[in-house]
Amino acid sequence: MPTNWLSDSEQHAWRMFITTIPDLNAALEADIAAHGLTMGDYEVLVFLSEAPDSRLRMCDLATALRLSPSGLTRRLDGMVKAGWVDRASCSADRRVMYAHLTAAGLEKMSVAAPDHVASVRRHVLDQLGTDGVEQFGELFGKIRQHLHGLQPA
């Protein structure tokens, strides 16, 4: 089967995407660094803050963050040391470990959140305008749906 090469406009769109993502990630990281957080740390705090009882099973948190169990352990080590997250075993099943957002972690996220939101607005949403934001959400929704359809059930 012959290769279906990208057209000039497709190539331009693809290149803009792959060369912009690292710069966007760096800008978002820089804006949250003043709080002593990485974007990875902030993502952990957000997931835990939105979970029932501010806790998640470690395996579920690792899946949500797209990390291996050992990657999650490394990510949480510093957060546990800082007092933002703690780990606890499940009383009903000792094989299950939970990550739990502490009061200090909630406070850390609450203080950082306004700056993070301002960063997202400044670097992404304000650049797109209202119509662009709607399109952005729709386009990435289609890509996400496609990618999730590829995953085994």
Tens-level pLDDT at each residue, the chain (153 residues)? 999 999 999 999 999 999 999 999 999 999 999 999 999 999 999 999 999 999 999 999 999 999 999 999 999 999 999 999 999 988 888 788 999 999 999 999 999 999 999 999 999 999 999 999 999 999 999 999 999 888 765
Contact 86, 102 (CB under 8 A): yes
The pTM of this model reads 0.88
Instruction: Give the strand pairing for 97-101 and 55-57.
Output: antiparallel
**C-alpha span between 96 and 89 (Å, rounded):** 6
Domain map (residue ranges) of the chain: 26-150
Write the secondary structure of 12-80 as one string of H (helix), E (strand) and C (coil): HHHHHHHHHHHHHHHHHHHHHHCCCCCHHHHHHHHHHHHCHHHEEEHHHHHHHHCCCHHHHHHHHHHHH
Comparing C-alpha atoms, which of 29, 56, 35 is closest to residue 108? 35
CATH number of 26-150: 1.10.10.10
Tens digit of pLDDT for each residue in 113-149?
Answer: 999 999 999 999 999 999 999 999 999 999 999 998 8
**C-alpha span between 91 and 108 (Å, rounded):** 28
- Grouping H, G, I as helix, E, B as strand and the rest as coil, residue 85 is strand
